[in-house]
């Protein structure tokens, strides 16, 4: 089973903190891969490049040239890039791929007149097009193309990869919201795109366990006519898309996410203040019900971070921290490694009805039960 | 048998018959029960005269004839009275002295089934044992990353939805605007398919209704039963049990007067209305209730004269086309109950199923589609229809589900599959396979008769006389002398028994697949089959 670790902090912090936390949980993952999602970036990305879409991925030399041509054709000018081509031998099991890049672009003229939704749509289309371009000879691998977002994925042990890529060395890679996953590749062939976290239009999430309802949910998501609901190299990718669908398409609060993926039983719903709404949601979102066993950790556009469990709560998950920094982890030792001086009595392990949210201000752990009344806008 | 009997082209010997009576003279006490119980009069009490020539030793005395008489059983060789293998004679024999035996080698009888130029009509189901559904394996067993669930311990939600489900966007809009919401029922995914009051004996019907009521009210399983065409007893229409009943209207409109007139007095709405356009065992053909079964009660409920055959036309005569039917009938039936009751059509699985489905997806009042495959049971149909016509359910259902997936309506229009489920007794496995191929619910008829009332029919042409009102178990007869054999209480008990068993077995299937909080509709990645062509066609894994 994979191990998950996420940090949300008021000030930008090194991604190596999250990777070190993963290392303390090493017994729980086989180190067959690592995925990192960095949001709320600090350094130059924050100071000079607010709002600029950042493309992150891995490129060969030829791939970089093709990328340059492609972005030029679309009127995107590279503003600042972190390009890292490791000179040393990669860790065992990691292939030599080329350049790891995060490139921030200045958007073309006229872009500002587009609505946010239209901008988002275009960015997703470009990301998919680039990914497709690289699929044939593997010279372009794109993980995200979105403002204030960098995603790193690689095969191999998380700590070795982190050190090899010198992730802690560049202060421009410091971020406020970090999702990290140490992978255990049990079911499928090792595929870089299958590595968590997944990202779409500001919504990122990662999951452990396996999604037994993968095929029906995948078919359902694909039939929603949403650009970007594609790929599906991992059976958990759909969890990100459901979160995106819930928040962006249906316009619901993240508290409703749990009601979509693990709705209440009828008798539990009977005396709920929102029973009519919940019954409507349960019925129409029936295809998105998951069976788990999963623990899902995700982050949203506004910088909030959440954790939910499947209905049976068969996966561990714990949230803890102190004012200014909170950690979401598969195991408590992960949090201990990063925030040892917190009040441990305030650690919270969400059970099968709970959603845990830490807002962008990183002030407190907010817990809500599915039995609670939902916010008024629902 | 006469010594000088004429040997004509259609003269058969006992050995030519499919079923032969084995009778043991030494065990028989000549009580006569077997002959009186035989539904087709295949056997009769016979007086056998035996002549023996006694030849004494030596040459002085002449040989003598010795005549003796004994009583015994004689099997008729007239195909009209051929034994059907029901084994009722054996069931009533106190000494186990008699019983039918299948003659595997003889095929002669089938050439003489159509005497008088009338092709054979029969009840039952397709006379072949094989079933594709039985070949399907469930193979996505969770072992490591997702530990298998415990079928006996975890909570399970097996219920399914019947009725038009709006898409998430639509339903939130309806919720916000407080608009009209299509009626949706939460039901158990195993539905008792349409077996009409008329085809069934009153005792059988009562037993089924009692069983269904018990399952709902005592065991909290929302099991539903379709009435089939032919109306519904007035008392049931006006009772609170109507909510467990799916009222069927077919092209003969039998019994609809009664139903329409009862609407103002109905205490509860029926579960749904099923408009039958076709059934799997006789696609493109109408229903046929033969005159034997149209007694006073049936005549009264159906609003027809007594003792006349009641063929329903193959199509709804007031409708010009399926498009028109979908538009008009669904709307008018919905209207009759104030748009509070789901209305859906039932069709034979056929090459035009997709066309019907496409029509339905664009009709906001359509509540689902029931598809009946070639193995669907029936009260009476021509032999050729049952054995050689129709479309198998698995691929037809899969095509329909995939069509819904393409348009993104797979949650919105439930598909109910029927036809051959539990044909070899594997009810739960067959049902689970169809659900994973895309069915929201499955319906069974024959299995209910076999398990619930001990129907003797088999897929090897055993019994199959449901159409002529001589059902030896009293399931499909309107003759009180026969249906008194069936105790409704026992039928109810058996129905409850097999539903509970089904419930356990289906949990045993889906729990190891890691599913428990929703029915695994369309979870085709769990299925495998060792037939390459079938795997490709159904889009499931090929495994050997």
A210 with B174: Cβ contact below 8 A: no
* pLDDT band of A216, cuts 50, 70, 90: very high
d(CA A343, CA A320): 8
Q: What is the secondary structure of A277-327 as a DSSP string?
A: HHHHHHHHTGGG------EEEEE-TTS-EEEEE-TT--S--EEEEETTEEE
d(CA A312, CA A294): 9
Share the mean pLDDT of chain A: 92
Omega before A293 within 30 of 0, i.e. cis: yes
* B chain contacts of residue A216, beta-carbon cutoff 8 Å: 410, 520-523
Contact B337, B260 (CB under 8 A): no
Burial class (CB in 10 A: 0-12, 13-18, 19+), B536: exposed
Identify the three-state secondary structure at position A129.
Answer: helix
Omega before B166 within 30 of 0, i.e. cis: no
A291 with B518: Cβ contact below 8 A: yes
Q: What sign does the CA torsion over A268, A269, A273, A274 have?
A: positive
Instruction: Name the CA dihedral angle for B462, B466, B470, B471, rounded to a multiple of 10 degrees.
Output: 70
Chain B residue with the nearest C-alpha to that of A275: B175
Which ranges of chain B have pLDDT less than 70? Answer: 1-3, 144-148
Q: Which of B104, B96, B98 is nearest to B17 (CA)?
A: B104
Query: How many other β-carbons are positioned within 10 Å of the β-carbon of residue B140?
Result: 21
B517 with A262: Cβ contact below 8 A: yes
* B chain contacts of residue A224, beta-carbon cutoff 8 Å: 408
Contact B471, B465 (CB under 8 A): yes
State pLDDT tens for residues A266-293. Answer: 999 999 999 999 999 999 999 999 987 8
Q: How far apart are the first and last CA of chain A?
A: 35
CA distance A285 to chain B (A): 6
Per-residue 3-state assignment (H helix, E strand, C coil) for A322-335: ECCEEEEECCHHHH
Contact B518, A286 (CB under 8 A): yes
Burial class (CB in 10 A: 0-12, 13-18, 19+), A289: buried
pLDDT of residue B311: 87
d(CA B243, CA B445): 19
Q: Which of B147, B405, B522 sits opposite A314 (nearest CB)?
A: B147
Identify the three-state secondary structure at position B36.
Answer: helix
d(CA B442, CA B444): 7
The reply to whether B474 touches chain A by the CB within 8 Å rule is no
**The tokens of B391 are what?**
């479309």
Q: What residues have CB less than 8 Å from B176, skipping those under 6 apart?
A: none
In Å, the largest CA–CA distance within chain A is: 63
A276 with B175: Cβ contact below 8 A: yes
What ipTM does this complex have?
0.93
- Better-predicted residue by pLDDT, B83 or A30: B83
A23's enclosing H/E stretch is: helix A15-24
CA distance B195 to chain A (A): 30
CA distance B168 to chain A (A): 5
Chain B residue with the nearest C-alpha to that of A276: B175
State pLDDT tens for residues A31-70. Answer: 788 999 999 999 999 999 999 999 999 999 999 999 999 9
Contact B247, B259 (CB under 8 A): yes
A226: pLDDT strictly greater than 90? yes
Chain A residue with the nearest C-alpha to that of B166: A284
Q: How far apart are the first and last CA of chain B?
A: 56
d(CA A316, CA A28): 11
Omega before A197 within 30 of 0, i.e. cis: yes
* pLDDT band of A187, cuts 50, 70, 90: low
**The tokens of A191 are what?**
């595929």
pLDDT of residue B147: 62
Q: Which of A213, A220, A283 sits opposite B515 (nearest CB)?
A: A213
The reply to whether B406 touches chain A by the CB within 8 Å rule is yes
pLDDT of residue A189: 67
B523 with A187: Cβ contact below 8 A: no
pLDDT of residue B284: 86
d(CA B505, CA B428): 6
pLDDT of residue B146: 59
The reply to whether B296 touches chain A by the CB within 8 Å rule is no
Contact A177, A321 (CB under 8 A): no
What are the beta bridge partners of residue B162?
A: B185
pTM of this structure: 0.94
Residues present in chain B in total: 544
**The tokens of B344 are what?**
């859906």
A220 with B171: Cβ contact below 8 A: no
**The tokens of A209 are what?**
């366990």
pLDDT of residue B313: 87
State pLDDT tens for residues A105-144. Answer: 999 988 989 999 999 999 999 999 999 999 888 899 999 9
What are the beta bridge partners of residue B225?
A: B192, B245
B142 with A223: Cβ contact below 8 A: no
Query: How many other β-carbons are positioned within 10 Å of the β-carbon of residue B347?
Result: 24
Residue whose pair of structure tokens reads 């009186």 in the numeric block = B36
Q: Which of B186, B406, B517 sits opposite A223 (nearest CB)?
A: B406
- In whole angstroms, what separates CA B236 from the centre of its chain? 22
A211: pLDDT strictly greater than 90? no
């Amino acid at each position: 089973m994979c191990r998950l670790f996420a940090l949300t902090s008021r000030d930008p912090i090194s991604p190596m903190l999250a990777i070190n936390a993963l290392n303390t949980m090493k017994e729980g993952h086989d180190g067959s891969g690592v995925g990192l999602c960095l949001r709320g970036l600090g350094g130059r990305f924050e100071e000079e490049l607010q709002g600029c879409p950042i493309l992150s991925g891995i490129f060969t030399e030829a791939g970089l040239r093709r990328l340059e041509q492609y972005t030029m054709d679309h009127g995107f000018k590279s503003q600042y890039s972190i390009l890292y081509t490791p000179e040393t031998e990669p860790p065992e099991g990691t292939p030599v791929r080329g350049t790891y890049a995060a490139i921030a672009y200045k958007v073309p003229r006229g872009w500002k007149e587009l609505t946010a939704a239209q901008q988002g749509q275009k960015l997703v289309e470009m990301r998919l097009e680039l990914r497709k371009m690289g699929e044939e000879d593997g010279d372009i691998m794109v993980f995200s193309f979105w403002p204030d977002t960098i995603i790193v994925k690689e095969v191999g042990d998380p700590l070795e990869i982190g050190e090899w890529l010198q992730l802690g060395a560049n202060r421009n890679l410091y971020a406020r919201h970090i999702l990290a996953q140490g992978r255990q590749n049990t079911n499928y062939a090792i595929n870089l795109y299958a590595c968590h976290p997944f990202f779409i239009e500001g919504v990122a999430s990662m999951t452990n366990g396996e999604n037994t309802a993968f095929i029906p949910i995948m078919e359902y998501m694909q039939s929603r006519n949403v650009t970007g609901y594609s790929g599906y190299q991992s059976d958990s990718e759909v969890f990100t898309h459901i979160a995106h669908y819930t928040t962006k398409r249906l316009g619901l609060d993240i508290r409703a996410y749990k009601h979509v993926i693990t709705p209440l039983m009828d008798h539990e719903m009977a005396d709920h203040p929102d029973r009519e709404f919940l019954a409507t949601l349960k019925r129409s979102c029936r295809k998105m019900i998951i069976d788990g066993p999963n623990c899902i950790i995700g982050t949203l556009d506004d910088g909030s971070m959440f954790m939910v469990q499947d209905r049976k709560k068969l996966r561990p998950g714990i949230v803890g921290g102190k004012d200014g920094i909170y950690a979401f982890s598969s195991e408590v030792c992960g949090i201990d490694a990063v925030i040892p001086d917190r009040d441990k009595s305030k650690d919270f392990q969400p059970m099968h009805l709970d959603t845990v949210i830490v807002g962008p201000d990183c002030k407190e752990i907010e817990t809500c039960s599915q039995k609670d009344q939902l916010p008024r806008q629902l | 048998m006469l010594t000088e009997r004429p040997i004509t082209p259609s003269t058969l010997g006992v050995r030519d018959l499919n079923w032969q009576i084995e009778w043991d003279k030494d065990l028989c006490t000549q009580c006569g029960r077997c002959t009186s119980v035989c539904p087709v009069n295949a056997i009769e009490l016979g007086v056998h005269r035996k002549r023996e020539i006694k030849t004494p030793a030596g040459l002085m005395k002449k040989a003598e004839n010795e005549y003796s008489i004994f009583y015994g059983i004689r099997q008729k060789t007239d195909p009209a009275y051929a034994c059907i293998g029901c084994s009722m004679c054996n069931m009533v024999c106190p000494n186990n002295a008699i019983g039918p035996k299948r003659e595997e080698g003889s095929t002669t009888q089938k050439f003489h089934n159509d005497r008088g130029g009338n092709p054979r009509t029969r009840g039952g189901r397709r006379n072949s044992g094989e079933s594709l559904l039985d070949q399907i394996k469930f193979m996505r067993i969770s072992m490591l990353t997702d530990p298998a669930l415990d079928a006996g311990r975890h909570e399970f939600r097996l219920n399914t939805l019947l009725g038009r489900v709006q898409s998430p966007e639509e339903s939130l809009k309806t919720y916000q605007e407080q608009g009209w919401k299509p009626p949706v029922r939460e039901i158990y995914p195993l539905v008792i398919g349409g077996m009409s009051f008329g085809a069934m004996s009153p005792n059988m019907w009562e037993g089924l209704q009692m069983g269904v009521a018990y399952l709902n009210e005592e065991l909290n399983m929302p099991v539903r039963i379709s009435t089939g065409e032919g109306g519904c007893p007035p008392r049931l229409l006006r009772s609170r049990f109507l909510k467990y009943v799916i009222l069927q209207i077919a092209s003969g409109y039998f019994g609809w007067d009664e139903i329409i007139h009862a609407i103002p007095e109905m205490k509860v709405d029926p579960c749904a209305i099923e408009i039958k356009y076709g059934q799997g065992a006789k696609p493109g053909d109408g229903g046929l209730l033969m005159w034997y079964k149209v007694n006073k009660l049936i005549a009264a409920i159906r609003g027809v004269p007594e003792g006349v055959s009641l063929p329903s036309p193959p199509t709804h005569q007031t409708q010009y086309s399926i498009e028109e039917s979908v538009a008009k009938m669904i709307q008018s039936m919905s209207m009759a109950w104030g748009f509070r009751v789901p209305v859906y059509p039932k069709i034979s699985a056929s090459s035009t199923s997709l066309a019907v489905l496409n029509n339905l997806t664009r009709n906001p009042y359509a509540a689902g589609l029931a598809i009946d495959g070639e193995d669907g049971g029936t009260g009476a149909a021509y032999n050729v229809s049952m054995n050689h016509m129709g479309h198998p359910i698995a691929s037809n259902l899969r095509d329909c589900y995939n069509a819904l997936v393409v348009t993104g309506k797979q949650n919105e229009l439930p598909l109910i599959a029927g036809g051959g489920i539990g044909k070899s007794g594997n009810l739960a496995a067959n049902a689970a396979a169809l659900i994973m191929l895309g069915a929201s619910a499955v319906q069974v008829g024959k299995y209910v008769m076999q398990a619930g009332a001990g129907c003797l029919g088999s897929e090897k042409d055993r019994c199959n006389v449901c159409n002529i009102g001589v059902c030896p178990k009293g399931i499909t007869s309107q003759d009180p002398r026969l249906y008194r054999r069936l105790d409704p209480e026992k039928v109810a008990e058996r129905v409850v028994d097999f539903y509970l068993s089904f419930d356990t077995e289906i949990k045993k299937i889906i729990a190891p697949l890691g599913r428990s909080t929703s029915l695994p509709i369309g979870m085709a990645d769990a299925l495998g089959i060792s037939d390459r062509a079938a795997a490709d066609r159904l889009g499931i894994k090929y495994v050997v």
